[in-house]
Copies of this chain bind each other. A is one copy, B any other.
Amino acid sequence: MKVFVIGVGLIGGSFAIDIKAAFNEAEIYGVDKNEEHLDKALSLGFVDKKSSFEELDKADVVITSIPVDITVKLLPEILDKINDECLVFDVGSTKKKLCNSVNDHPKRRNYLAAHPIAGTEFSGPQAAIANLYRGKTNIICEVEKTAFKLQERGMEIFTRLGMRIRYMDPASHDKHIAYVSHLSHISSFMLGKTVIEKEKNERDIFDMAGSGFASTVRLAKSSPEMWAPIFKHNKENVVETLTEYIANLTQFKELMEEDNFVEIYKEMEDTNHIKTILKGIS
């Protein structure tokens, strides 16, 4: 099985590591515009051969793990170049624009729209890790538009990697994921910004910040190259979540200004049941 990984960073690299472990016959072909990343992936051993778009006709599976705006641009070209029996899946955090972009492509049936809910705040080939996908949810959109045989090939990979599958339409995916993922990244980035702006002497932050701050600001380490296009793709939903988040923060601030700490207590108590909701999320 010849697997082409386009973008050999955290996400693509972690797929390569697990696929090599789960499929004896897998050969990983790395494609990346960043030559240093390709060399690093080769030396780390999860890519077997450097490759390019010119060789895509040899592929049995193509994984695109690159920023969503680049995927939208390249996906039609990738579908043009593959053979009829090849499965292409992406891993992007937005799905609507991607699905729309290939809706009328003659090889639409070769494409599976996927979003594995997995990652870390790190990026690049050196961030790739084994078992990143074990026990994680993989959201598949418009599964009915993918050829049945190729759905099966995708599922075989996802199952061997230990993922749970969930089916959803692209619009619902983008709406829900804005709340449980995209908003978290913005809240974290802006928290980091607010604190950095205030505390020019960085030793002060370092000394006084505990694990709580580290936890809320962790996502502010994420790659802008990956995230700016996600916000762009999902603009409408993300703006809506931001509007609601800002309204809630403003109301909290007003309660404080009015010395209404009884209501503030209640707000926190009401939100505490997030404990139960979160049970089981690593």
Contacts of A215 in B (CB 8 A): 184, 215-216, 218-219
- What are 26 of the A-B contact pairs (CB < 8 Å)? A117-B210, A118-B210, A119-B211, A180-B199, A181-B209, A183-B191, A184-B191, A185-B212, A189-B267, A190-B249, A190-B252, A191-B245, A197-B248, A198-B244, A206-B277, A206-B278, A206-B281, A214-B282, A220-B272, A221-B272, A227-B268, A231-B264, A238-B256, A239-B253, A239-B257, A246-B246
List residues of A (193-244) whose CB comes within 8 Å of B's CBs: 193-199, 202, 204-222, 224-225, 227-229, 231-232, 235, 238-239, 241-244
- Chain A residues at the B interface, C-beta cutoff of 8 Å: 117-121, 136-137, 139, 164, 166, 176-177, 179-181, 183-199, 202, 204-222, 224-225, 227-229, 231-232, 235, 238-239, 241-246, 248-250, 252-253, 256-257, 259, 261, 264-275, 277-278, 280-282
CA distance A261 to B278 in the complex (A): 32
A119: chain B residues at CB < 8 Å are: 210-212
State whether A253 and B257 are in contact (beta carbons under 8 Å apart), knowing that A176-B199, A216-B188, A272-B221 are contacts in the complex: no
Query: Are the CB atoms of B256 and A246 closer together than 8 Å?
Result: no
Complex interface: chain B residues within 8 A of A261 (CB): 228-229, 231-232
Partner of A193, one of B181, B222, B271: B271
Contacting pair A220 B274 (CB below 8 A): yes
Majority SS of interface residues in chain A?
helix
Q: Which residues of B contact A195 (CB under 8 A)?
A: 179-180, 183
Residues of chain B lying within 8 A (CB to CB) of residue A229:
261
**Bound form: Cα–Cα A235–B204 in Å:** 21
Please tell me if the beta carbons of A281 and B210 are within 8 angstroms of each other in the complex: yes
Q: Chain B contacts of A271 at CB under 8 A?
A: 189, 192-193, 196, 220
